[in-house]
Amino acid sequence: MNKYSFKSTDKWLPSLMLLLIGLIYFSFLPVNYDFDGTVFSQYLRYALVKNDLSVTHQPQHPLYIPVNYLLYNGLKKAIGYNVLEYFHLQLFSLCFGLLTLWVAYKIIKQVAGPDRRFLQIVGMALAAFAYGPWYYSVEAEVHMAGLFFVAAGMYLLFFKPDPDKLTRTVGASLCFALAAGFHLTNGLIAVAVLLVFILEKKSIGKIVRFFVFYGVFLLLELSIFAIASKINLLDFYKNQLQGNDILAGHKISYWTGLSIGGLWGSLKSVANGFLVPASPTLTVFSLLLLGTGAAFIINACVKSKNKAYYKLGAWILPYFGFFTFWDHRNFEFKLNVVLPFIILFTASAAFFIRRMQNKTRVSLANTGILILILSIFLSNFYYYIKPAGNLENNRNYRAAAAIEKVTPPQAAIVIAGCGSDLSIHNKIYISYFAGRKVFILDWMLSKGLTLDDIRARLEQEQTMGTPVYFFSDALLEGEGPVLQQLLKNHHLEAADYYRFLEKINFKEKIPVIDDYYLNRM
């Protein structure tokens, strides 16, 4: 009988669960083509076409493109691998998403207790189908690799039952440095580690030893990137913090002052990491879930006196704190809040269920947790994953595909590049999916060019044999909000822009999709 008990499944059930999650992830890979993911795909394509890694410079996440460039080329040489770059980056995210779930399971096993096998699996499922981890595990984004290395470092340093402390310290330091390499903001984990060391009253020598290893690994990584890219990283990072982002088209400040509104927006972005914000009802429900979960965790923390709670709380603190003041509405930077919160929630559920003497109450509690996970899964699946898997729902892609059909390969497309979802996505979609050269008025004006300079530049393209087309959102009779935003960004008068268009001799009007069209110069 014992060999058929739940205990006998301890080795294979987590692996089976992980395989099932992987199949769900892979079967429903979205084709809504995230903006940033398309940018990363274009970077990767450019490096592969040029066969030169030095042409791709992304100091915010210096390891992401180089690692994928080497991986793609290695697979191509080994097995003739030749897939769309976006799909390759989705697979990369998926693999690291599954690895992150495995590490989360290992941490839950230590925190919740080895006797709570049901909750270990449940915690893995909750982490898998919460909106934030699910979204970034199936999109061509940078975050899952970084989250994996943060989680792996925390496991090695604080949760792995390993007597060799030096090995754990070196391994965790390397993991944290790699995490920062996939996105520099992951370096905030160093603050969490320092907090735990202080609370545990570690000796100065042990603290210094850890940070020496971490500093050496991180500086080595960044130095290699700086030498290869010839970028002054200190200047670049300073400009980023000041909002001088050259890719934004104009100066954007990500900083938010101390305010109730900023804190509320930050809490909402954490809640969005659990449920897709597809409606006000789901947003309210996710906030209630966050508040109830937090109260549940605090109650368990006070009563259990489990030291693992403050380690996981220290993991949350620097990320929630920093990203309450910087880009506070963006839930992508709250993954390092969502994952440890889920682990804490699972551990708290294990603590309270362990104290229950009545088997009926235990069954009801387990059933309630399963209903919660099923509700989260269905909400995120039906409101995001399922519709994102239908290419017909991606208007931005359909516009780029139509442009590819109605223009010659050497054509150049002029767009506004601001003011609407389509106009913003056109900045990367037209070049990546349509393979056409793009002139972005928002960027050209931000570089100090006048409207006359831009017209002269476009006419020069024509003299070189390049057919030049204006996308309709850059025309006065096009999408009003787009032009209003363009004029506002660069303090232009509508009359001046109207004269700019009058001087251009448009020859033909070509329908694209819906009410959008191209006008050829």
**Average pLDDT of span 495-510:** 89
| pLDDT higher than 60, residue 3 | no
- Which of 301, 333, 308 minimizes the C-alpha distance to 320? 333
At position 429, the amino acid (one-letter code) is: Y
% of the chain exceeding 70 in pLDDT: 93
Contact between 362 and 139 under an 8 Å Cβ cutoff? The reply is no
**Average pLDDT of span 6-19:** 77
pLDDT, residue 1, reads: 42
pLDDT band for position 171 (cuts 50, 70, 90):
very high
Contact between 356 and 362 under an 8 Å Cβ cutoff? The reply is yes
Tokens standing for residue 328: 């506070």
Which one of 45-49, 231-235, 477-481 scores highest in mean pLDDT? 45-49
Q: Number of helices (H) and strands (E), helices first, in the chain?
A: 23, 5
Residue linked to tokens 């070189």: 464
pLDDT band for position 53 (cuts 50, 70, 90):
confident
- Which of 427, 400, 268, 253 minimizes the C-alpha distance to 334? 268
pLDDT, residue 477, reads: 57
| pLDDT higher than 60, residue 429 | yes
Q: What count of other Cβ atoms lies within 10 Å of the Cβ of residue 95?
A: 16
| pLDDT higher than 90, residue 247 | no
Contact between 335 and 273 under an 8 Å Cβ cutoff? The reply is yes
pLDDT, residue 6, reads: 47
| pLDDT higher than 80, residue 199 | yes
% of the chain exceeding 90 in pLDDT: 65
How far lies 69's CA from each of 64, 73, 76, 186, 210, in Å?
9, 6, 11, 22, 31
Bridge partners of 470, per DSSP, are 414, 519
**Average pLDDT of span 186-203:** 94
- Which of 518, 514, 517, 279 minimizes the C-alpha distance to 392? 514
| pLDDT higher than 70, residue 250 | no
Model confidence pLDDT, tens digit, residues 103-130: 999 999 999 887 778 889 999 999 999 9
Confirm whether pTM is higher than 0.85.
yes
pLDDT, residue 252, reads: 64
| pLDDT higher than 60, residue 197 | yes
Q: Looking at beta carbons, which pairs linking 192-200 to residues 24 or more positions away fall under 8 Å?
A: 192/154, 192/314, 192/315, 192/316, 192/317, 192/318, 193/157, 193/314, 195/314, 195/317, 195/318, 196/158, 196/310, 196/311, 196/314, 199/310, 199/314
- Which of 429, 418, 389 minimizes the C-alpha distance to 513? 429
Model confidence pLDDT, tens digit, residues 125-144: 999 999 999 999 999 999 99
Identify the residue with better confidence: 388 or 358. 388
What is the helix (H) or strand (E) element at residue 413, kind and residue range? Answer: strand 412-415
pLDDT band for position 243 (cuts 50, 70, 90):
low
- Mean of all residue pLDDT scores within the chain: 89
At position 121, the amino acid (one-letter code) is: I
How far lies 233's CA from each of 52, 94, 228, 275, in Å?
21, 30, 12, 36
